[in-house]
Structure 1
Amino acid sequence: MIFRPWLTLRTAGLVWVLPLLLLDASQATGQVRDLLARPEFSLTVELPETKNDTNNLLSQVDQQLQQAKWQDAIDTLERLSSRHGSEFISQGKDQVDLGSEYVYYDELKTYLQRRIAEFSRQTPEFLEAYRDRIDPLAKEDLDAAKATADPEVLAATINDYFLSSHTDEALLVLGDLLLERGRFNEARTAWERISPRFRTPEDPRGVLLAMAGQPMWVAVGGIDWKQHRDHVAALLNEAASSASLATIPDTDVDPAAVWARLCLTSWLEGSQQRAAVELELLQQLHPAAEGYLGGRNTNYAQFLAKLIETNPGSTAISPSSGWPTFAGAYSRTAKAMQERKVSDYEPAWSVTLDVQSLSRAPGNNGFGDVRTLEDIPLIAEDGDALLSTFPVVMGDQVIVADENRVRAFQLHSGLPSFPVAGNQVFKRNDLDYGAFLTTGRRVDFNFGPDRMRRGSPLRGMALRFLHALGPARFTLSSDQTKLVARIGTTAIGVPYVQAQFQNPADMVVFDMRKEGKIEARVPPVTELSGPWSFEGTAIVQGNRLYCGMVKSGVRDELAVGCFDWTTSQLIWRKKICTVQPYGSGLVADGEFGHRSHNLLTMVDGVLYYNTNNGVIAALNADRGRMLWLTRYPRMEMVPRSLERAHPQVQRNVNPCIVERGLVISMPLDCERLFALDAATGQLVWQTVPGGLDPTHLIGISGEDVLVSGEQLFWVHVDSGRIRAEFPSVDQAHLDRGFGRGTLVGDQVYWPTRDKVYRLETKLADDGSIVPAAEPIDLSQFGEEGGNLVYSDGQLIVAGPSRLTVYTPVVDDKPPPAASPSQE
């Protein structure tokens, strides 16, 4: 029989089980392992890059441009864009340390826009010929698009006519429309495309403090304007392209109008330092410039100076109530509101959770398990009792899920949110207590007599099959009324024998106004699509679901998909890359699946995808168009046994944080935390390789991104400098981290096994950490730490085996002045 791993996982049968029954189990298992064992894990990432015929056309364009055959060149460019525009092409790289580089890719259509714009600056005759062809249509279509006041329509039209003589004004209008909708990153990118002067130019003298192509505010923050003003002005007036953004070759738009808008946007989103630097740039280069801003004609610099002196603007990322998704928002950084001082907490209620543990490889006889997980070096959790549950809060309901059930409880009482079908009565320690969906089966491969797939003829046999690599994680997503859960196995790419006993997870949509009624069940596969699986819980917006997907095989194909959940139909699916599966590459003694929990990040209509496989990508959510793709340096990953490989993929629920024009990520296959420019994907900063080894990116507060593992770190959001850590080296007697913390107002709640520390997110003037209140002692209640969520004054702790909600003890006493080291 031919081994066909690409068969859909919904296929049922016993063809690969029979060898285990008819032969000696260890012999049969050994034969499979010998066939499939891989000596090393490949870091190679394959992208859908330009092919030979595409490269031939690119060469043809070069020749036609050199020979001044403008019309022939335009025809070839149109052929390239229409036939090959979605292929990837490298447009640069940064070598940051020995053997490590970040490589930047664009779709070919975007690359051609930038390249032709650069050529047009040097050869105005070509631009004139190009505009003679497109301007008549461009003006009519751009005017119609502006009249709709729909940024999606206008952005698509701009993309079609990017080099027309009318596009710069359209970009100004597009930015204004996006700003009105609070889509700050997109607005900023639209304005920066008007001219290359709004990004850092090449500077041979080294006066500017940023690499070419980075945001200009980074380059001029802290320079001596009195000494270097004329030099900076001359660099910007040259208008030579140095950014990976495609920019207009010439423009009549007043640069002061753009700088004023950039400053206003920074202030509105709460980036005070950025706004101050951009205001100073405006004051230095265009002090007398006037225009329409703030509802009236005004001097830009004077108006913004008064505005910035008032209360700072702030991004609406902090839910006043509820916690709708992992990390509290689809930007993956949010703060819960805390309206009163809390001296302490006490448990209000708790329920039992399904205990999750790491998979163990079969014992020597192929059926038993003789190994333990005690010596597996996981960070901030235990292999025998994982911290797999990440609750969400919708209104006054706390909701949790696992592979088999979804449960909802009233936040303040712990009672089930909905009546139980059939008037069944469950106790709080029952796993089905509060459940409004129960599949009634286990699908985690720990097959015993009670854990077989229903209807299987092997249900009564105590078999132990090969397992999946990596911890299980259970996340949820919601909007105001709809809840989305990934129900089914979290294992992906399992061998065919295991596929007989489990189904790939579906995306299930519930209406929480109707007691959790199932509105839709969206499968990842159809009869024709092949073995696709969902990687994590989808983002829900309106009638759309956005999710990472993987097509299993000898090489996994990673993609981002968009579904209409009302019809379960795929709207678009964009291939990102092809990689070696972790399960078949990291485990040296056989073929294994792996558990993937990749979550997308969504900000301002853009999806950001940390593949955890060498690539970060940004896509337009409306149509799935690739905006940029960055290949980051992967660390060496050594193949080993199943147990020893688990720690290498522990950080498997780590979506990008996107805020203030930065995409901050720490993939599981990278030993550094880094920030990319949200507009271009270019590197802004990175930490020293190996300098951090966290599990959780908690979020951004003030000047820092909070990162945790066994310790809690403050990393400066604009530079990547590690500014503080807790506990420090001289506080080694304090507990180590145990679970994911959360931001509560201006505090960070950080869990250890026995306590929850409450610390100010703002460091003291001397850089020291400031305690906000005494730690919450969980051990006195017989409880332990876990993943934290805070909502409506209640602290929710999802531990390894219990979900506990703590209610506040109100006290108006001021916080203590003692440091944690004085306990």
Structure 2
Amino acid sequence: MLGITVRPRWLSFFLIAAALGTFQSIAAFAQFLPPPSLPRDQFSIEIDSAATKQITALRDNLLAGQYAEGVELLLKLVVSRSDKYLELSPGRYVTAPTMAEILAMHLPPEGLRRYREQVDPLARRILEQSDESERNNVELWQRILKQGAASSLADDAIHHLAQYAWERGDIATARSRWEMLIPPRKNGEDAPLPTTFAYPDTDLDLAEIRAKLILCSILLHDFTRADRELTSYRTMHPDSQGELAGTQGKWVDLLQQFLNEGRTWEGSLGGTPALTFAGNETRNGTSVGLNDLLPAVWTIPTTGYLPLLKGRRPANLDSILPSTFPLLDGRRIFWADDESVYACKLLDGSPLWGNANLDPLQPHRIYQAPVSDRPVPTGEILEDAAAFRGAVEDDQPRSFAGLPSFSLTLADGRLFARLRTRTSPLDTSYGQGEPSRLVCLDVDQGEGKLLWEVEGTDWKEDNLLWRFEGTPIAHAGKLYVGLNSTGGKRNAAIAALDATTGERLWLRRLGELQGVGFSLNERLSRGYIAIGSGNLFYETGGGGLAAVDLETGDPGWVIQTPSTAASSGGKLTGLIWDRPAIPVWDRGVVYVLGTEGRSLTAVDGATGLIVWHRDLGKQVQWILGCRGNRIILAGERLWGIDRQDGNILWEVGSQDIELQGYGRGFLSAREIYWPLR
């Protein structure tokens, strides 16, 4: 029986644990039989063709020494506010204004002089019109930076924004800001267009900036990087001294002292409350470790689904697998399925608020979506169009490949859930599918009272109907959710809502999914959002990964992540049909699994630059999280991956069919808990 099981002193559906470092004795792990090859999604991005021509003309002007014309074109691009993308480097896209700002930072001296003649007066006017009390105001420096990313005042703006992030504990953002102040490497005349922000000629103390970058690495527990940076620092700034982090002394000595002290923090990371799927908004949460595995106290049945593809499972494998990811909040447990939200007491499993407003057949249910008359998809793949049309005409369920997942988000006494969107049709000529739904429940004072609900069909633009993806995520009074559209082009998007009212604040389209596989069947809702360094990161499907500004929804970058599936002739194999698409953010880097389900890619969150890509040679289902210098992956094996270069540090597991992986598992500060049957 599938269910939520509680054992004394801890919530548990986990059956094995192992240390993060050296493994001594490990039970066998899941065997995954590959499904038949299926066509892969392809993510495409709308390119701004007019701006592309302007960029080409701009580069030609600069190479010819025609700086007046080049700067004029550059400033036109900056103020265009276009939200369409340009290809900055192969597989990496930014908007035209972003590309223009990068180019401004890399102008030749004469071009930079002419550029500053245009933008400096405007930036200075903003500063002069502010009084002394506003000089530490973050909005002031953001305005100055937007006025001109390479203006004479922009380095002061960057430094103030970095210091602001540092003081509020956002160390990764502080580091990405201070890194912008490190002068760029000089390119030759025929070098390709520059691809990163790098302020050209700051008059700030670079010894201090580099020292703060090392402090960032230490505070982020990135000790390998801190070692490397400190070695370089000894050569570049051996005699720099003064006050650093509240201590006077020679900076190389202070940094070495801070690094030595920092290493003692590595094992002191405690657990954090699970407020959303994978623990927190970065999808990289830490749970409190368990002392012992004790007998079950109570169990509540939950919903399960057919795993992978029908006919491709071992004969002795149960017909269903768990799809529910409960959320523990103190002494309360919440969980959901495709149509309902449930709650119980941790102590004894009884209904959370008694039985006053509950269905006696479902005593734990606190909310149920309106009943749909649409057939529920099955786990069987329909192999031909005739079979599919027959199923539709006979009012039979459509089919889907993979395993749904249901989870929740809790913030400020409100519980958020995505319902009625387990799947969406790939071929909309046979109908749009049932409306997806976001709901907000008061679980603080209202005993599960519905505060608001929104259906995707409420949002209609350009003949597109939107469907919600993954689990919504809450931050600072806003709710963020991924979307895909039906009824025309299949767009991927992110939206922000007011968490109190459900009002839509903005919607950012990211690109289009084309050539989506197996249009006879249903597509599982898979896309999840992660938050880090002031950005939202979203896996669009089809290998797309996008970053947008957390506050404004302004586009940052979009990339096409590498795939190791080239040898499959454009076909998709493996666990991708069994896996939600969940980016994991850790210390400024975003980690995503490949579309083929067997590789891992590390992406710099600030720039979209790919740090490394690793083919693991076996199927991967989950990124469990990052601990120290390791990324923990689970699937056909359990892996520890070096976060610096993607090398495999250790790999454990076997093909023993008697012990199958059963759910996701979690990480504590020092242990891995991996569920088996």
Structure 2 length normalisation: TM-score? 0.83
Q: Are 1:725 and 2:674 counterparts? A: no
TM-fit CA distance, 1:177:
0.8
Mapping of 1:292-303 within 5 angstroms? Answer: 292-295=243-246, 297-303=248-254
Residues 581/418 of structure 1: CA separation in 2 closer, same or farther (3 Å cut): farther
CA shift at 1:672, angstroms? 1.3
Q: Which amino acid aligns with 2:452?
A: A
Cα deviation 1:400-434 (Å, max 9, x = unaligned): 00111111111222121123334x574xxx5x231
- Tell me the residue number matched to 1:77: 74
- Counterpart position of 1:681: 608
Structure 1 match to 2:551: 622
Task: Work out the CA distance in 1 between the residues paired with 2:666 and 2:204.
Answer: 44
- In structure 2, distance between residues paired with 1:444 and 1:726: 44
Counterparts of 1:709 and 1:669, CA distance in 2: 13
The CA distance in 1 between the partners of 2:377 and 2:211, in whole Å, is: 63
Task: Give RMSD over aligned pairs.
Answer: 3.4
Equivalent residue runs for 1:303-342 within 5 Å: 303-312=254-263, 320=271, 322-338=273-289, 342=291
Tell me which amino acid in the other structure corresponds to 2:296.
P
C-alpha distance 407-319 of structure 1, shift in aligned 2 (>3 A)? farther
Matches within 5 A, 1:353-364: 353-357=302-306
Provide the residue aligned with 1:435 in structure 2.
Answer: 365
| Residue 127 (1) aligns with residue 112 (2) | yes
The reply on whether 1:167 has 2:154 as its aligned counterpart is: yes
Cα offset, 1:442, TM superposition: 5.7
Q: Does 1:740 align with 2:664?
A: yes
What is the CA deviation profile of residues 37-76 of structure 1, one whole-angstrom value per residue up to 9, with x for unaligned ones?
A: xx9836543212121x323333443454456554443333
- Code of the aligned partner of 2:77: L
Three-state SS of the structure 2 residue aligned to 1:502 is coil
User: Conserved in 1, the CA contact under 8 Å of 2:103 and 2:194?
Assistant: no
Distance (whole Å) between structure 2 residues aligned to residue 247 and residue 483 of structure 1:
42
**Are 1:404 and 1:438, in contact at CA under 8 Å, matched by a contact in 2?**
yes
The structural deviation recorded for 1:444 is 6.9
| Aligned: 1:263 with 2:214 | yes
Does the CA-based 8 Å contact 1:374-1:383 persist in structure 2?
no
State the distance in 1 between where 2:319 and 2:137 align. 52
* Pairing 1:423-822 to 2, within 5 Å after superposition: 426=360, 430=361, 432-439=362-369, 441=371, 445-446=375-376, 463-493=395-425, 495=427, 499=431, 502-526=434-458, 528-529=460-461, 530-553=464-487, 555-580=489-514, 582=516, 585-586=517-518, 591-634=520-563, 635=565, 649-669=576-596, 671-688=598-615, 691-727=617-653, 732=656, 735-753=659-677
Q: Which amino acid aligns with 2:259?
A: I
Map residues 28-43 of structure 1 onto 2, 5 A cutoff: 41=39
1:108-147 to 2 correspondences below 5 Å:
108-120=96-108, 124-141=109-126, 144=130, 147=134
Counterpart in 2 of 1:97?
Answer: none
Residue 158 of structure 1, aligned match among 135, 145, 163: 145
> Aligned partners of 2:48, 2:267: CA distance in 1, in Å?
41
CA drift at 1:507: 4.2
SS of residue paired to 1:514: coil
Q: Which residue of 2 aligns with 1:350?
A: 299
Structure 2 gaps, min length 5: 1-36, 379-392
Question: Quick check: 2:375–2:395 contact (8 Å CA) kept in 1?
Answer: no
Q: Hey, what's the Cα distance between the residues in 2 that align with 1:418 and 1:148? A: 51
In structure 2, do the counterparts of structure 1 residues 203 and 377 end up closer, same or farther at CA, with 3 Å as the change threshold?
Answer: farther
Contact 1:507 1:537 in 2 (8 A): no
* Counterpart residue number, 2:328: 393
User: CA offset at residue 695 of structure 1?
Assistant: 0.8
Which has the larger displacement, 744-753 or 432-441? 432-441
The residue type paired with residue 365 of structure 2 is A
Over 3 Å counting, the alpha-carbon distance change for 1:282 and 1:487 in structure 2 is: same
Shift of 1:553: 4.2
**Which residue does the alignment assign to 1:18?**
none
Is residue 496–residue 504 contact of structure 2 (8 Å, CA) maintained in 1?
Answer: yes
Higher Cα Rg, which structure: 1
Aligned match of 2:43 in 15, 40, 45?
Answer: 45
Q: 1:476 to 1:415 in 2, by over 3 A?
A: same
User: Unaligned 5+ residue runs, structure 1?
Assistant: 1-38, 94-102, 205-239, 361-372, 449-460, 754-823
* CA displacement at 1:486 relative to structure 2: 0.3
Supply the distance in 1 between the matched residues of 2:588 and 2:77 (Cα, whole angstroms): 31
Counterparts of 2:657 and 2:304, CA distance in 1: 29
Kept after mapping to 1: 8 A contact 2:528/2:582:
yes
Task: Classify 1:630/1:542 alpha carbon distance in 2 versus 1 (closer, same or farther; 3 Å).
Answer: same
For the residues of structure 2 that align with 1:290 and 1:447, how far apart are their CA atoms?
67
Aligned-pair CA distance for 1:151: 4.1
Which has the larger displacement, 257-266 or 125-134? Answer: 125-134
- Residue-pair matches, total: 619
Q: Quick one: distance in 1 between partners of 2:187 and 2:111?
A: 28
- Corresponding residue of 1:16: none
Deviations 1:481-512 (CA, angstroms, capped at 9, x unpaired): 22210022322235558647732233435443
CA contact (8 A) 1:196 1:247 kept: yes
Moved more, 394-403 or 111-120: 111-120
- Give the Å deviation of 1:175: 0.9
2:354 corresponds to 1:419: yes
Aligned-pair identity in percent equals 23
**Partners of 1:470 and 1:646 within 8 A in 2:** no
Distance 2:149 2:570 in 1: 48
- Cα distance in 2, alignment partners of residues 495 and 60 from structure 1: 42
Question: Is the contact made by 1:158 and 1:170 (CA closer than 8 Å) also made in structure 2?
Answer: yes
Partner of 2:434, secondary structure, is coil
SS state of the match for residue 111, structure 2?
helix
- Structure possessing the higher relative contact order (Cα contacts under 8 Å, 6 or more residues apart): 2
Partner of 1:177: 164
User: Does structure 1 retain, via aligned residues, the 8 Å contact 2:334–2:341?
Assistant: yes
Q: SS of the residue aligned with 1:687?
A: strand
- Tell me how far apart the structure 1 counterparts of residues 200 and 236 of structure 2 sit (CA, whole Å): 21
**Judging changes above 3 Å, is the alpha-carbon distance between structure 1 residues 66 and 92 closer, same or farther for their aligned structure 2 residues?**
closer
331 and 150 in structure 1: CA distance in 2 versus 1, 3 angstrom threshold: farther
Q: Give the structure 2 partner of residue 404 of structure 1.
A: 339
Asked if structure 1 preserves the Cα contact closer than 8 Å seen for 2:403 and 2:577, the reply is yes
Cα pair distance change 1:343/1:317, threshold 3 Å: closer
Distance 1:667 1:40, change over 3 A: closer
AA partner of residue 598 (structure 1)? G
